Amino acid sequence: MGPAITPGAPAVELHGVSVRFMSERREVAALEDISFSLSPGSFLTLLGPSGCGKSTLLRVVADIVAPTSGSLRVLGQAPGEARRRREIGFVFQDATLLPWRSALDNVRLPLQVGGSPARGGRSPEELLALVGLAGWEKALPHELSGGMRQRVSIARALLGDPKILLMDEPFGALDEITRDRLNDELLHIWRQTGTTILFVTHSIHEAAYLGQQVLMLAARPGRVREMIPVDLPEPRQLAIRDTAGFGALAGRLRAVLETC
């Protein structure tokens, strides 16, 4: 398995990470001096106004975007190393399925590219069943609903049992009923797999319901506003949203969000 992952190392650790882009001959600071650390197995939601660099932050962790300055470790390794070892699963806002491949073949894609490091974990068939799509293996993406497509992309991200799952507003384009159901199923998957999850959202309720902690980002430039712990009882069920505790938390998140 190559170099061992440092035991007890944080799942994700950022020190003063900044990202700048050139746009229209003007330099734009997308992220400025981001530092935080996340222990393995935790569920962090990232919340903030648009333009706060939530998606960029996920892309830095996934080694899609390189930081302009600062340093980060993913499972005690450089992010590129973690990516090559398939420790990272990514779920995009759009399901990003290959339209000519069946649901099952889409989940299999990670086995067919990138030298496909042989790894344990659940088979593609088991993963489709885990996300509630048993019996839909042969369906093409255009035959599936938006929610089902996103389930397929979650199954694909879970292939190879990654230690970190990065999710970029995965349910943002779905209707509320589907979104609630997928939130519940995601918590179920998180408990079953023990994966560390970083989840970007622009919904206060989603951030509060899913996360153990909410990382609030401020915009222009994107910077850490506050790390807010979520002290709601586990395991959570949707009914928790009707409790006074949840209402108070959502109220607090909204109050902080308004200052960002």
Partner 1 sequence: MASDVGMVHTAAASPARAAAADPARAAWLAAQRWARWKRRLLPLLGAASLLFAWWALVAFFQVKPFIAPAPQVVAATLWQKSDILLANLWPTAIEALSGFLIGNLVAVAVATLFVHRKGIEMAFFPIVVLINSIPVVAKAPILVLLLGNGMAPKIAIAAVICFFPTLVNMVRGLEAVSPQSLELMHVLSARTWEVFIRLRLPTSIPYLFSALKIAASTAVVGAIVGEWIGSQEGIGALIIQATYNFDSALLYATVICGSAFSVAFFLAIRMLERICVRWAPQSQS
Nearer to partner 1, 164 or 217 (CB): 164
Nearer to partner 1, 143 or 175 (CB): 143
Nearer to partner 1, 157 or 214 (CB): 157
Nearer to partner 1, 59 or 163 (CB): 59
- Scanning residues 105 to 164, which ones bind partner 1 (CB under 8 A)? 109-110, 112-115, 140-142
Q: Minimum Å distance from CB 244 to partner 1?
A: 40
Q: Is 36 in the site for partner 1 (CB under 8 A)?
A: no
Please list the residues that pair with 165 across neighbouring strands.
89, 197
Q: Minimum Å distance from CB 111 to partner 1?
A: 10
Query: What is the secondary structure of 73-114 as a DSSP string?
Result: EETTB-HHHHHHTT-EEEE-SS----TTS-HHHHHHHHHHST
Spell out the long-range contacts of 75-78 with Cβ–Cβ below 8 A and sequence spacing 24 or more: 75/5, 75/6, 75/9, 75/11, 75/12, 75/40, 75/163, 75/164, 76/5, 76/6, 76/9, 76/10, 77/3, 77/5
Q: Minimum Å distance from CB 249 to partner 1?
A: 32
Q: Which of 7, 8, 100, 120 binds partner 1 (CB under 8 A)?
A: 100
Q: Minimum Å distance from CB 110 to partner 1?
A: 5
Rounded-to-5 percentages of helix, strand, coil across the chain: 35, 25, 40
Residues in the interface with partner 1 (CB under 8 A) total 27
Closest CA to 198 of 17, 41, 11, 43: 43
Q: Which amino acid is at 159?
A: L
Side-chain-side CA neighbours of 155 within 13 Å: the count stands at 29
Show the binding pattern over residues 66-85: x = contacts partner 1 (CB under 8 A), - = does not.
Answer: -----------------xx-
Q: Which of 39, 68, 96, 213 binds partner 1 (CB under 8 A)?
A: 96
Residues lying near partner 1 in the complex (CB under 8 A): 59, 62-64, 83-84, 86, 88-90, 92-94, 96, 98-101, 109-110, 112-115, 140-142
